[in-house]
């Protein structure tokens, strides 16, 4: 069986734009996630729901509509460094998020992932975040594979409100 290669050319610039800073870890105040959650402007930054030790927000650079992230409030880069209580809540929230996205957006599957470190693909490696990507049959097309363009067919504000409403029902 021949192995196929998945190539995402649109990620190249995003992942490599700060390559010269590979060894530098931003201090807490330089973290975009810490900054956004501290401002308490949830609608502006698409923060969907706050929990005790973690929060859920939409990804500013989504692979698919409804691409969410679950993040701890603690500015930690490594899953192994999280206290067990926070790690447990992170994954409990991930499970709740799957249900919310499935109900609100009728997702047919999901990809979940944590990119730890720059070499692991982390665009913001200093603050751990769990990606939750909803998937549908046929959700990639020629624009992405040939034209290097990602087309999102839904308004982000509408999707944000749909997901917030669904979280209110579940949590």
Residue 56 in any domain: the answer is yes
User: Which of 67, 127, 129, 131 is flagged as catalytic?
Assistant: 129
* Domain encompassing residue 110: 11-18+43-170
**How many separate domains does the chain show?**
1
Residue 50 in any domain: the answer is yes
Residue 64 in any domain: the answer is yes
Residue 31 in any domain: the answer is no
Q: Supply the pLDDT for residue 11.
A: 52
Q: Supply the pLDDT for residue 123.
A: 84
Q: Supply the pLDDT for residue 53.
A: 98
Residue 26 in any domain: the answer is no
Q: Supply the pLDDT for residue 25.
A: 41
Q: What are phi and psi of 125, to 5 degrees?
A: -75, -10
Q: In this structure, what CATH number is given to the domain that contains residue 154?
A: 3.30.428.10
Q: Catalytic site residue 129? A: yes
Which three-class secondary structure state does DSSP give residue 55?
Answer: strand
Residue 34 in any domain: the answer is no
Helix (H) or strand (E) run with residue 159 in it:
helix 156-170
Give the integer Cα–Cα distance in Å for 58 and 163: 10
Q: What are phi and psi of 94, to 5 degrees?
A: -60, -45
Residue 35 in any domain: the answer is no
Q: How many residues does the chain have?
A: 171
Residue 119 in any domain: the answer is yes
Q: What is the pLDDT along the chain (171 residues), one digit of tens a residue?
A: 555 554 555 555 544 544 444 434 443 457 889 989 998 899 999 999 999 999 999 998 888 889 999 999 999 999 999 999 999 999 999 999 999 999 999 999 999 999 998 888 888 889 999 999 999 887 765 445 444 544 455 678 899 999 999 999 986
Give the integer Cα–Cα distance in Å for 26 and 24: 6
């Amino acid at each position: 069986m021949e192995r196929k290669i998945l190539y995402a050319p649109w990620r190249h610039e995003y992942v490599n734009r700060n390559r010269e800073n590979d060894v530098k870890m931003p201090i807490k105040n330089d973290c975009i996630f810490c900054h956004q959650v501290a401002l308490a402007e949830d609608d502006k930054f698409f923060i969907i729901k706050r929990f005790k030790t973690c929060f859920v927000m939409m990804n500013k650079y989504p692979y698919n509509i409804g691409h969410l992230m679950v993040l701890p409030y603690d500015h930690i880069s490594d899953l192994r460094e999280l206290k067990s209580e926070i790690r447990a809540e992170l994954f409990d929230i991930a499970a709740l998020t799957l249900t919310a996205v499935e109900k609100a957006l009728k997702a047919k599957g999901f990809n979940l992932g944590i990119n730890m470190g720059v070499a692991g693909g982390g665009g913001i490696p200093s603050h751990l975040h769990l990606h939750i990507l909803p998937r549908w049959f046929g959700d990639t097309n020629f624009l992405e594979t040939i034209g290097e363009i990602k087309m999102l067919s839904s308004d982000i504000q509408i999707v944000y409100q749909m997901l917030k409403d669904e979280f209110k029902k579940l949590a």
